[in-house]
Amino acid sequence: MGTIFASKLADTGHHVTVWNRTRAHAIPLEAKGVTVAASPKDAATGANVVVAMLRDDDASRDVWLRPGDGAIEGLSPDALAIELSTLQPRWVTALADEIAKRGAHFIEAPVIGSTPQANAGQAIHFTGGDPALADRAKPILSAWSGAIHHVGPIGSAAVAKLAVNALFAVQVIGVAQYHAMLGAAGLGAAQATELLNHLPVASPAAKGAAALMTAQRDDALFPIELVAKDLRYAGALACKHGALLEAATSTFEEANSNGLGGENITAIRKLFAA
């Protein structure tokens, strides 16, 4: 996703410097005039806006705060740092505090959608932080997004993103179980999906998941290992009435343990078919 974002920014005339934990992934961007930096600090140095898209809390903490060459070391006073990753709100809040100590600014802007939406300029962002800073970020985020929704203070967007991902994961499990139940009764996946498409109980997300399951397309748009991570993060926020979330987390953890971690969320159907 980060490569797509950098490419979109370069296409819209921004001067872009990138750093990637896997340097080979960044090299193709050089053809668009993008500079590939040697460290997060080098990528951030002199930038007006610094954007991060990372796997989890640990990766975010490492890239921002790594001693000596973390991105925070290169932040200029009054620079705007934007964290796009799906993270726990407590880490987002701590990161905002660290960046403020440097005299720079911070907003969170977790992204909803995957590579098809980003490529089409139709990703969605939730923002958290000072509304004026969120407005300042819009020209950057709009390079690959179709909608930006301000949620509230720092940490609120992280909560909203985790809640959305939990809602999606529960729906995908429901579709997988629906297919398994009808399959046991002799109905094929295509027929089950066709029936679902005519029902008011099916959300657009459920219909999309059903179509991918029917086609057995498991390209890792949202890998199961990351679904399990997000559900663990969401579970840490669910104080009560969390039985459904706990069940979903257990299901995706089982899929991850069974070697499905690198496959798309819709590959969860394989657990029900076993």
CATH of the domain at 82: 3.40.50.720
Q: Is the pLDDT of residue 144 over 80?
A: yes
Based on the domain organization, do 204 and 253 belong to the same domain? yes
Based on the domain organization, do 150 and 166 belong to the same domain? no
Based on the domain organization, do 212 and 135 belong to the same domain? no
Q: How far is it, in rounded angstroms, from Cα 189 to Cα 216?
A: 10
Based on the domain organization, do 150 and 179 belong to the same domain? no
Tell me the per-residue pLDDT of 225-260, one tens digit each, with 9 for 90 and over.
999 999 999 999 976 768 899 999 999 999 999 999
Mean pLDDT of all residues in 41-70: 97
Sign of the torsion formed by the C-alpha atoms of 210, 260, 4 and 51: positive
Decide: helix, strand or coil at residue 24.
helix
Based on the domain organization, do 258 and 231 belong to the same domain? yes
Which residue among 106, 131, 154 closes a domain?
154
pLDDT for 242 equals: 80
Domain that holds residue 183: 159-273
As for how many domains the chain has, the answer is 2
pLDDT for 17 equals: 98
Q: Please indicate, yes or no, whether the overall pTM of this predicted structure exceeds 0.85.
A: yes
* Averaged confidence pLDDT in the chain: 96
Residues in the chain: 274
pLDDT for 238 equals: 72
Based on the domain organization, do 15 and 117 belong to the same domain? yes
Mean pLDDT of all residues in 23-35: 95
**Could you tell me the pLDDT band of residue 274, with boundaries at 50, 70 and 90?**
low
State the CATH number of the domain containing residue 172: 1.10.1040.10
Read off the tokens for 266. 């819709």
Based on the domain organization, do 138 and 164 belong to the same domain? no
> Long-range CB contacts (< 8 A, 24+ apart) of 180-188?
180/269, 180/272, 180/273, 183/273
